[in-house]
A and B are shown apart, each in its own frame.
Chain A
Amino acid sequence: MEARERLLDKYSARVFKNRKDHVITKAEDATEIAANSRTIPGIMTNRGCCYAGCKGVVLGPLKDVAVITHGPIGCAFYSWGTRRHKAKGDENTKNFLEYCFSTDMQESDIVFGGEKKLRQAIQEVVEIFDPASIMICSTCPVGLIGDDINAVAAEAEKLYNRKVIAFSCEGYKGVSQSGGHHIANNGLIRHVIGTGDRPVKKYAINILGEYNIGGDGWEISRVLKRIGYDIVSVMTGDGSYAELKNAHLAELNVVQCHRSINYIAEMLKTKYGTDWIKVNFIGVSSMIKSLRDMAKYFGDEELIAKTEEVIAEELEAVSEELEYYKSRLKGKTAALFVGGSRSHHYQKLLKDLGVETVLAGYEFAHRDDYEGREVIPFIKEDADSKNIESIKVSPDEAKYKIRLSETKYNELKDSLSLEYYEGMIKEMENGAIIVDDLNHFETEEFLNLLKPDVFYSGIKDKYVAQKGGILSRQLHSYDYSGPYASFKGAVNFARDTVMGIYTPAWKYVTAPWKTEPTLEGTLTGGEQSA
């Protein structure tokens, strides 16, 4: 029996009925998967919540913003410094990432409402820190007790003469982190993007959905700047409110994490006419393809030449090391289970290193991240996600600009996949398993059935795999290493994986007395003596 069937077989009829559409085996004719639906209670999901998607992922990295979590202390505490979106302030830009701001709601705030405390909290933050902007993120009880954080934000904006934005990202909204991404995207396009006017240079771009985990964004920017790009904004790793205001002025948006930022990419296209392409800066071959695609979009000979020159130099710098690591990894197998994009992005890098992906899945991606954007018209919105607001934007009369002529656009559309993402499944091998919202049970079962050499996942299941004898490297936090993106990152990633596979401790898992007898004796007169 196939691994998929063997796994599903163990479920009760009720759970089987739900899970069978979330677990598929890649075949030519079967690529449809169920995704972005509610979590089965008690199943031990890896998923987080809407607040985590909004505050933890999209807004948290904005360094010059004081993000105030309106709620009891936990949510703010857990998202304090735990996602490794690095940032560096300078004389013009304050950096709040070492701080955790919470209204620390108490019982009386639940009973009498927390608006008064929130107002006071904003005042105190303004007085102590004078931040460029304040963003308020709500947590579960806020929506239930009816605090109007939008009204408080609007009032504070006038009072303190700076941008104050409220995000209603209560944890119960939607079914996962994904709803929070959408809510954050809506707020940023509504209140921030389009309000700046910095002059842009040639080849002006935004990097969308890149959160600078372990310095990824810096490594990507290093290469892009060498080529000559003017990076207007990064959403949102090492990003800032100050930069984000100008995002509408870029000529092209490059999208790394499709799931978390495609809403802004689409809205920038509609409102300001900015085209976007899907890139993948993870892995050398994907990086090279992405750089060439970007150059092709601008179609400038000088840029194309410079791109090739930089590629050649960067490649030269890493190829020897990568070849060595490849020799140590060739033929290994991997399983990947990450949030909403990395499970796909790292497959190409693994392939570069000779590692085969036998299972991949997302916590909270939608069908388009699995199957490609062409399925979007066929995705049925269910009751759990309908409450996530989908905003409509229209072309900005003053700022809308067509970037490419219709002929040029059509010419590039297919070769560059303009406004398109193909999804994860197409790139996977037949027979590989794809799992949506992988849970603890399935993790254990699949690791036992498939016995991959490495399981790339998160902190909650890292030690589950490791205790079972399988190396687990975290692809959210990079196990406190990184960067993993771009040329240099590929080397770091390969080195870390090799280190994990070949660390001597694996040899000592079984104690010698488990395999060799220590009690030597001979039978004398029916008694055993040592």
Chain B
Amino acid sequence: MLSLTPKKVSERSAIKINPAKTCQPVGAMYAALGVHKCMPHSHGSQGCCSFHRMYLTRHFKEPAIASSSSFTEGASVFGGGSNLKTSAKNIFDIYKPDIIAVHTTCLSETIGDDIGSIIQDIDIPEGKYMVHTNTPSYVGSHVTGFTNMVSGFIKYLSVKSAVKNGKLAVFPGFVNPGDMREMKRILNYLKVPFTMLPDTSGVCDAPMTGSYEMYPKGGTKIEDIKKLGECELSLALGEMTSEESANELKRKCGVPYKALPLPIGIEATDEFVMQLSRFSSTEVPYDLEEERGQLVDIMLDAHPYYHNKSVAIYGDPDTVLGIAAFALELGMVPKYLVTGTPGIIFEQKAKELFSKYGVENYIAKAAGDLFELHQWIKNDPVDLLIGGTHGKYIARAENIPLVRAGFPIIDRYVHSYLPIVGYKGAIRLVELILNAIMDKQDAECNEEDMEMVM
């Protein structure tokens, strides 16, 4: 497995090998699926759209709808305006969404299609909407695309208002529907009136009912996006994913925002809960306190199995930092943090986090790849890997247990239904980590050392 990867790390300036990111539009497509009765539309050649739908479907094991402008060579040379116009006509005619959310690809970005102007020329049916964002694949990553699409909805729909509605705008970040559900559960515990954008719960984890619904029950309502401008405050969860969208709402509608890390692990969840409690002037209910106490109880119970264990974490920037923080809380040693998403802020945030715990011996790299991570591991191994599916080859090659968390996970089921955020999510992560470590011990210890009780 990966036997051609040499131990010696060589300087690379051009070739990316086994990336830890993908391109913008798939993030935009995912964000658009989190709006109720929305058709994500990919303005480019159709291969992108098929690839992105394929990836979302493989991660969620659910349908992922989206349409494409289906560029031909002619359109690529002379512009894709008529392709987008024809698309809009056909989509409203045949698929009847309430809103079409257009994103772009490297093709339409390179030729410089002016989507805003094209949309202005389109005859949009009464009561329907069409919004867009620019998602050039050669900038940032899928996380950037997600952020851009969320901002696109705000730019087009949210209205500035002098009257406030007492609500909190919540930007959940690039997380699974299971995480969004958990965030909403906590928001409800604290009696916070809120609008979450996007919200893919009920869309990307829709139930089996025997009849296919193109637009499932879930998703943020258009009316609620419009009223985001009436919110008192917005909460950007995951600074690197959500802050830009919260900032957009501030710029456009004057809604102030607070940026917090993704509520992964105990301290970040505490911060999230405290923030909500302050916002709604509601005491933290016992039920939530009980969950937190259970988490701490488990952390104490099981600490011998993960204490001082070293771990490599890879994936999207906010997720990686969130898991790294939790690993530190558990007494583990996060040795390597890798995100494919570029941005020096990731490395700065990692530095802040590690200095808080007085840890110096670590590598955190943005715009990194799994090939290099593997090389580091060959030189100085770790006890555990945490990240998406693509790390399983390293896990097998180096015999390191792997905990699957983040995006994309295309080789396991159920994961997207359950959270990794909140106290509940932290409890789940501890279980996944323990199972991985303890299964390995059971599989590999000497027979005479097999333990009945652990």
Contacts and interface: CB of A to CB of B under 8 A. Distances in A.
A129 B52 CA distance: 30
A101 B390 CA distance: 14
Interface string B58-87: 100111111111111111100000011011
Q: Which of A40, A467, A468 has the most CB of B within 10 A?
A: A467
B46 A103 contact: no
Interface in B367-386: 371
A39 B46 contact: yes
Interface stretch (A73-81, A309-317, A417-425): A73-81
B23 interface: yes
A51 to B, nearest CB: 6
A71 B54 contact: no
B57 A42 contact: no
Interface string A141-152: 101110000000
Nearest to A480: B411
Interface residues of A, number: 89
Nearest to A468: B212
Contacts of B340: 73
Contacts of B158: none
B137 interface: yes
B14 A118 contact: yes
Contacts of A144: 76, 107, 110-111
Contacts of B141: 73
A140 B138 contact: no
B358 interface: no
Nearest to A74: B23
Contact of A140 (B90, B105, B214): B105
Interface stretch (A241-249, A273-281, A366-374, A457-465): A457-465
A468 B211 contact: yes
A77 B44 CA distance: 18
A50 B70 CA distance: 12
Contact of B393 (A11, A98, A140): A98
Q: Which of A43, A121, A139, A145 has the most CB of B within 10 A?
A: A43
A46 B50 contact: yes
Contacts of B25: 74
Contact of B86 (A42, A102, A120): A42
Contacts of A48: 46-47, 50-51
B47 A52 contact: yes
Contact of A43 (B55, B67, B111): B67
A285 B51 CA distance: 35
B70 A39 contact: yes
Contacts of B70: 38-43, 45, 47
Q: Which of B19, B47, B55 has the most CB of A within 10 A?
A: B47
Contacts of B71: 171-172
Contact of A78 (B15, B51, B61, B105): B51
A107 B55 contact: no
A104 interface: yes
Contacts of A105: 106, 138
B163 interface: no
A172 B54 contact: no
A127 B10 contact: yes
Nearest to A139: B106
B88 A96 contact: no
Contacts of A39: 46, 68, 70
B200 interface: no
Contacts of A140: 44-45, 76, 105-107, 110
Given A40-B86, A41-B84, A48-B47, A73 B107 contact: no
Nearest to B84: A41
B120 interface: no
Given A41-B90, A124-B10, A144-B107, A172 B75 contact: yes
B251 interface: no
Contacts of A141: 106-107, 109-110, 138
A45 B71 CA distance: 12
B1 interface: yes
Interface string A46-83: 11111110000000000000001001111111111110
Given A124-B12, A459-B57, A42 B47 contact: no
A77 B17 contact: no
Nearest to A100: B18
B128 interface: no
B53 interface: yes
Contacts of A95: 4
Contacts of A77: 19, 21-23
B76 to A, nearest CB: 4
Interface stretch (B91-99, B182-190, B325-333): B91-99
Given A48-B50, A172-B73, A101 B107 contact: no
Contacts of A110: 106, 110, 138
B14 A117 contact: yes
Given A15-B94, A42-B91, A465-B212, 5 more contacts: A14-B89, A45-B68, A140-B44, A441-B95, A467-B211
13 contacts: A39-B68, A41-B86, A42-B67, A49-B46, A75-B47, A75-B51, A120-B14, A172-B76, A172-B107, A175-B72, A440-B95, A460-B50, A466-B208
The 9 closest A-B pairs by CB, nearest first: A49-B47, A42-B87, A74-B23, A120-B14, A72-B137, A42-B90, A78-B51, A104-B16, A140-B107
Interface of B: 1-4, 6, 10, 12-19, 21-23, 25-26, 41, 44-48, 50-55, 57-58, 61-76, 83-84, 86-91, 93-95, 105-107, 109-111, 136-139, 141, 206, 208-214, 340, 371, 390, 393
